[in-house]
Amino acid sequence: MTEMLDLATTVEGLDGLELVGNWHVNNDNIHEVARMFQDRGFKISMLVPDLWTQAKWGKGSIAAPDAKTRQAAVDEVRKVMDWGAELGCSYVDVRPGQDGYDYCFQADYIEAWKWLGDGLVACANHNDKVRVLVEYKLKEPRTHCFVTSAAKVLLLLQGLDKVGVLLDVGHSIAAGENAAEAAALLASHRKLDYLHLNDNYRSWDDDMMVGAVHLVEYLELAYWLKRLVYKGWLTLDIFPYREDGVRAAMQCREWMAVFFRSVDRVGIDKFTEVIRSADACSASDLVRCALNM
């Protein structure tokens, strides 16, 4: 952890990091963790309950067929919420990646959907200092997760005002969404709470650097974030398997700066005007103009 944090201080513009419950934080080290972050001027942007790496979640977490496992998952989220409250971290990230199925005839979709909702209700009000966010994903580790898209998570969270959504841009792209549209949909339901940035080739969550593939989509996302007055975190969820992590993070930062600068170069109003014309040629022209090409 010390090594990771020291490395993090070399990433220009970095304000905070996410931590995974039990991996990085536990009852024994919580005060030490707080101090390590304070010493370096970092915030903990997010605490993530580990609901996917341990064997006990192999058949599901908050929507597991086994009632005790479901309760254990709720307990795990609540515990991490309490840690968050103590650490001044405002969010926990519920990733129900094990909640799904691999094969046909392996899940009772009606029951599972109900269990998902029940589990989130059971977490939502546990600690008012910490907001539960759900991170959707089409697949992995399951070949089919239950909570796959922006629309599906919003449907799940109908009436659950206290639970929000974490939009992982790569998950959105790999789910066949346009991330900008997903962001707008979430925001119009007051649930665009937090962003994970990364890129991929659409068929898998490759967790690549921003700027790898979807430049136009990212530019459009930047426009919508400005238009929607998004004030939340812009965090990186990349997996620099063969790259130097610090350099990879810096590349992402540079690309995000390009996209926001490009929106400013043209201005929100001009973008909105072209959008409302619904004219693809004008849109194409505007993209080149904004990107300074």
Interface of this chain with a copy of itself, residues 73 to 132, rule: CB under 8 A: 101-111, 113
Nearer to a copy of itself, 83 or 255 (CB): 255
Compute the CA torsion angle 11, 207, 198, 251 (nearest 10 deg). Answer: 40
Kindly state whether residue 11 participates in binding a copy of itself, applying the rule CB under 8 A: no
179 exposed, middle or buried (CB, 10 Å; 0-12, 13-18, 19+)? buried
Of 94, 98, 202, 102, whose CA–CA distance to 156 is shortest?
94
Kindly state whether residue 180 participates in binding a copy of itself, applying the rule CB under 8 A: yes
Kindly state whether residue 184 participates in binding a copy of itself, applying the rule CB under 8 A: yes
- Are 44 and 75 in contact by the 8 Å Cβ rule? The answer is no
Task: Return the residue of 215, 226, 232, 237 that touches a copy of itself, per CB under 8 A.
Answer: 215
Of 164, 186, 170, 194, whose CA–CA distance to 18 is shortest?
194
Reported as type and span, the H/E element at residue 63 is none
- Are 5 and 37 in contact by the 8 Å Cβ rule? The answer is yes
Task: Return the residue of 223, 225, 235, 236 that touches a copy of itself, per CB under 8 A.
Answer: 223
Minimum CB separation of residue 203 from a copy of itself in Å reads 4
Minimum CB separation of residue 161 from a copy of itself in Å reads 15
Nearer to a copy of itself, 127 or 148 (CB): 148
Amino acid at 220: E
| Rounded Cα gap, residues 185 and 74, in angstroms | 27
Residue whose structure tokens are 């908050």: 62
Kindly state whether residue 10 participates in binding a copy of itself, applying the rule CB under 8 A: no
Kindly state whether residue 217 participates in binding a copy of itself, applying the rule CB under 8 A: yes
Helix-strand-coil split of the chain, %, nearest 5: 45, 15, 40
Minimum CB separation of residue 110 from a copy of itself in Å reads 5
Task: Return the residue of 7, 38, 39, 204 that touches a copy of itself, per CB under 8 A.
Answer: 204
Amino acid at 49: P
Nearer to a copy of itself, 129 or 265 (CB): 265
- Are 92 and 46 in contact by the 8 Å Cβ rule? The answer is yes
In degrees and rounded to multiples of 5, residue 45 shows phi and psi of: -75, -25
241 exposed, middle or buried (CB, 10 Å; 0-12, 13-18, 19+)? exposed
Nearer to a copy of itself, 86 or 118 (CB): 118
Nearer to a copy of itself, 231 or 288 (CB): 288
Minimum CB separation of residue 160 from a copy of itself in Å reads 13
Interface region with a copy of itself, contact rule CB under 8 A, candidates 22-30, 59-67, 89-97, 123-131: 59-67
Q: Which of residues 253-292 bind a copy of itself (CB under 8 A)?
A: 254-255, 258, 262, 271-272, 274-281, 283-288, 291-292
Reported as type and span, the H/E element at residue 164 is strand 163-168
Kindly state whether residue 238 participates in binding a copy of itself, applying the rule CB under 8 A: no
Kindly state whether residue 67 participates in binding a copy of itself, applying the rule CB under 8 A: no
Kindly state whether residue 230 participates in binding a copy of itself, applying the rule CB under 8 A: no
Task: Return the residue of 89, 185, 192, 234 that touches a copy of itself, per CB under 8 A.
Answer: 185
